[in-house]
Amino acid sequence: MRSYTELPQDPELRDTTPRNPPPPPPDSHAVFRLYWLTAIVCCGGLLFGYDSGVIGMWPPEALLNTIFIN
């Protein structure tokens, strides 16, 4: 790797083409699929938590009693 002192300071000698061009923006269909998958996974997790009894136990004392007594 060259040191900074060896880099040309003259604007005409600089390389103006970017070495790594930025990636193109994602396709709107791909973004929609990502949000759809996220929504399905989150809803599935909520339904599983509700069905198994982790979500929905209120008041918190009932939750603590089921954990420590049973």
Q: Is residue 23 part of a domain?
A: no
Q: Is residue 8 part of a domain?
A: no
14, 8 in Cβ contact below 8 A? yes
49, 55 in Cβ contact below 8 A? yes
> Tell me, what's the pLDDT at 2?
57
Print the domain residue range for 35.
29-69
Q: Is residue 9 part of a domain?
A: no
CA dist., res. 6 & res. 30, Å (int): 44
> Tell me, what's the pLDDT at 32?
93
Q: Is residue 42 part of a domain?
A: yes
Q: Is residue 33 part of a domain?
A: yes
CB atoms within 10 A of CB 57: 14
Q: Is residue 51 part of a domain?
A: yes
Number of domains comprising the chain: 1
CA dist., res. 36 & res. 33, Å (int): 5
pLDDT digit string (tens) for 2-58?
A: 566 666 666 666 666 657 777 888 888 999 999 999 999 999 998 888 888 777 656
